Amino acid sequence: MVQIKRIQEDGADVIVPIGEIDASSSIELDLTIAKSVGEGYTRILVDCTSLEYISSAGLGVFMSYIEEFGDKNIKMVLYGMNERVLNTFEILGLSELLSIAVDKDEAKKRLA
Amino acid sequence: MKYIYKVGCSIENLRGIRDFVKQSLKNHEVNELSISEVVLALDEMCSNLMIHAHKCNPDDLFELHIIADRDQPLVMEIIDDGTVFDINQFHEPELGNIIHEKRKGGLGIRLVKSIMDKIEYEKTDGKHICRLSKKVQFD
């Protein structure tokens, strides 16, 4: 079960998933990112500080945007992951393919 | 010690499965990062089974068994009398293809194979058993 908030800050869209993203809830993440892109945001932050868990369904959502973001010059940075969530990204080597920052300051610098 | 959980094939039940696995392993002082990896692998196995073999029919039931003993590899069994979903027969796609084809599947199997030491299938008395095992750290 996940709840997803969006906050606009300094022209960037901050997506805040709260709870757990699995096969039953990954669609929420997908819809939220699609909405952000649809509204024309080109700088997207994903605040993972309240993300308790993510399975491959959620990882797949992030992966599915990599090419589109490259084509449209959209930057997305994820930050604030706990050790377990970060480990899930690292097992698959996704930390090489996605931009993952330790905290919000570093994430904002990467967007600049 | 053996723990048993019986569950219907609705993906809404994945959270209950994760809680069951977490609680069972916590009783045995399994290291926290190992617990989170085993929880993830079983979530992936069960969601594959629910979605691909049972088309998310909540009336189809399967059992999850966890055998945990201190300083022994953990053994997890998924026991199903329906169709088998054998991930050893499934060739996981390359990450590059997943990105290019915008596939949202295929990553789960990669995760399970990375996390588990062994994945075996057997058929006994008309039941399909998928047995996963992993050596873990105990605190």
Rounded distance, CA A36 to CA A42, Å?
A: 9
* Domain assignment present for B40: yes
The one-letter amino acid at B59? D
Torsion of CA A62, B19, B46, A3, to 10 degrees: -30
Q: Residue B72 phi/psi, 5° resolution?
A: -115, 155
| Higher pLDDT pick, A58 / B96 | A58
Stretch A87-103: mean pLDDT: 95
Distances in Å between the Cα of A95 and the Cα atoms of A54, B3, B23 are 14, 35, 29
CA dihedral B114, B117, B122, B126 (to 10 degrees): -70
Query: Hey, are the CB atoms on A91 and B115 less than 8 Å from each other?
Result: yes
Alpha carbon distance, N-terminus to C-terminus of chain B? 17
Domain holding B50, by residue range, is 2-134
- CA distances, B68 to each of A7, A101, B2, B39 (Å): 44, 36, 6, 14
CATH number for the domain harbouring residue B44: 3.30.565.10
Mean residue pLDDT of chain B comes to 91
The tally of domains found in chain B comes to 1
To probe the interface with B, which of A55, A65, A84, A92 has the most B CB atoms within 10 Å?
Answer: A55
Instruction: Please report, for chain A, the start and end positions of each structural domain, with discontinuous segments joined by +.
Output: 2-111
Which of B36, B95, B110 comes nearest A84 by C-beta? B36
Q: Decide if B139 is inside a domain.
A: no
* Residues A78, A106: Cα–Cα separation, whole Å: 10
Phi and psi torsions of A72, nearest 5°: -95, 5
- CA-to-CA dists, residue B138 to A69, B16, B55, angstroms: 42, 24, 37
Q: What pLDDT is stored for residue A99 in this prediction?
A: 97
Ordered DSSP codes for A74-101: -EEEEE---HHHHHHHHHTTTTTTSEEE
**CATH no., domain A2-111:** 3.30.750.24
Helix (H, G, I), strand (E, B) or coil at A10: coil
Is B127 part of a structural domain of the chain? Answer: yes
pTM of this structure: 0.93
Number of A–B residue contacts, CB under 8 Å: 82
Q: How confident is the model at residue B104 (pLDDT cuts 50, 70, 90)?
A: low
- Give B57→chain A minimum CA distance, Å: 14
Chain A CB contacts of B47 under 8 Å are 22-23, 55, 57
Residue matched to tokens 């039941």: B127
Q: Is the pLDDT of residue A31 over 70?
A: yes
Q: In this model, does residue A14 exceed pLDDT 80?
A: yes
Q: pLDDT tens across B49-102, in order? A: 999 889 999 999 999 999 999 989 999 999 998 777 778 877 777 787 777 776
